[in-house]
């Protein structure tokens, strides 16, 4: 079973920041938070991961709460090409991963 909870869907205006929340209240101390996205009819794409510190890369930022029970993926300036299903996954990093249903993000012009 997936160990994360995400909203089923979200809308975001083009050019605005998209903030995608994820709850993972049962995360273990050695588990990382990973984010992937899947654009329609394509394989998932890795976005970012983190353990406890906030992380940023060219695609997004990951904000993890101090208690690590939740996190937020931030796409700073959403474009139409960011429309996809976003998956938040917790994993020890050497384990098989389980995908939940994710959040369907619709970027609106």
Report the interface residues with another protein, using CB under 8 A: 32, 34, 36, 38, 41-46, 49, 87, 91-94, 96-102
In the bound state with another protein, the residue whose beta carbon lies nearer, of 63 and 97, is: 97
Residue whose C-alpha is closest to residue 88's, from 99, 74, 104, 77: 99
Which residues fall within 8 angstroms of residue 20, CB to CB, at 6 or more apart? 6, 7, 10, 35, 72, 73, 74, 75, 86, 88, 103, 105
Least distance between another protein and beta carbon 24 (Å)? 15
- Closest separation in Å from C-beta 84 to another protein: 13
Q: Could you tell me the smallest distance in angstroms from the CB atom of residue 104 to another protein?
A: 10
């Amino acid at each position: 079973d997936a160990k994360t909870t995400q909203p089923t869907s979200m809308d975001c205006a083009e050019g605005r920041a998209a903030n995608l929340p994820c709850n993972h209240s049962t995360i273990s101390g050695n588990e990382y938070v990973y984010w992937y996205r899947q654009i329609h009819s394509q394989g998932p794409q890795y976005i970012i991961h983190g353990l406890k510190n906030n992380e940023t890369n060219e695609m997004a930022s990951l904000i993890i709460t101090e208690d690590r029970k939740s996190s937020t993926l931030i796409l700073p300036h959403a474009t139409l090409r960011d429309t996809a299903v976003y998956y938040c996954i917790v994993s020890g990093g050497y384990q098989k991963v389980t995908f939940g249903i994710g959040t369907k993000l619709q970027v609106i012009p």
